[in-house]
Structure 1
Amino acid sequence: MSSFSDPKAIAGYAENTLRRVPGLHDIHRMAALLLAERTPANGRVLVVGAGGGMELNVFARLFPNWTFDGIDPSAEMLAMATTNLGSLMSRVQLHHGFIDAAPMGPFDAASCLLTLHFTNEAERYRTLCEIHARLKPGGALVAVHYSISQTGAERDLWLSRCAEFAILSGIAAKQAKASVAAIGQQLPILSPEQDEALMQKAGFSHISTFYVGLGFRGWVAYA
Structure 2
Amino acid sequence: MTSSSHAKFDPSRAREYTEQARIGLAGYDACHELSACILSAALAGARERRILVVGAGGTAGEITATARLEPNWTFVAVDPSEPMLALAQAAVEEAGIGERVTFVRDAVSALPAEPAFDAALMIGVLHHIPGDADKARLLEDIAGRLLPGGSLVLAGNYRAYDSEPLLQAAWANRWRLHGASEGEVEAKLARIKAGAVPPASEEAVADLLAASGFTAPERFFSSLFWGAWHTRRAT
Q: Could you tell me the TM-score, scaled by structure 1's length? A: 0.90
Q: Deviations over 1:35-87 (max 9, x none)?
A: 11233321011100100222212222221110000111101111121111113
CA contact (8 A) 1:145 1:217 kept: yes
Task: Pick one of 4, 15, 21 that aligns with 2:9.
Answer: 4
Work out whether 1:73 is the aligned partner of 2:110: no
Find the counterpart in structure 1 of residue 141 from structure 2: 130
Find the counterpart in structure 2 of residue 46 from structure 1: 52
Shift of residue 208 of structure 1?
A: 1.0
- Measured in 1, the distance between the counterparts of 2:110 and 2:175 equals 33
- Measured in 2, the distance between the counterparts of 1:121 and 1:75 equals 25
Q: Which runs of 5+ in 2 are unaligned?
A: none
Identity %: 30
Q: Deviations over 1:83-110 (max 9, x none)?
A: 1111311000111122213344421111
- Measured in 1, the distance between the counterparts of 2:68 and 2:180 equals 29
Find the counterpart in structure 2 of residue 17 from structure 1: 21
Q: Deviations over 1:181-211 (max 9, x none)?
A: 2222331122222111100111111311111
Work out whether 1:141 is the aligned partner of 2:152: yes
- Measured in 2, the distance between the counterparts of 1:201 and 1:186 equals 25
Find the counterpart in structure 2 of residue 62 from structure 1: 69
- Measured in 1, the distance between the counterparts of 2:98 and 2:181 equals 35
- Measured in 2, the distance between the counterparts of 1:5 and 1:189 equals 21
CA contact (8 A) 1:18 1:24 kept: yes
Superposed CA RMSD in Å reads: 2.0
Q: Could you tell me the TM-score, scaled by structure 2's length? A: 0.86
CA contact (8 A) 2:160 2:197 kept: no
- Measured in 1, the distance between the counterparts of 2:183 and 2:100 equals 41
Find the counterpart in structure 2 of residue 211 from structure 1: 221
Shift of residue 29 of structure 1?
A: 1.1
Task: Pick one of 195, 198, 221 that aligns with 2:208.
Answer: 198
* Partner SS, residue 144 of structure 2: helix
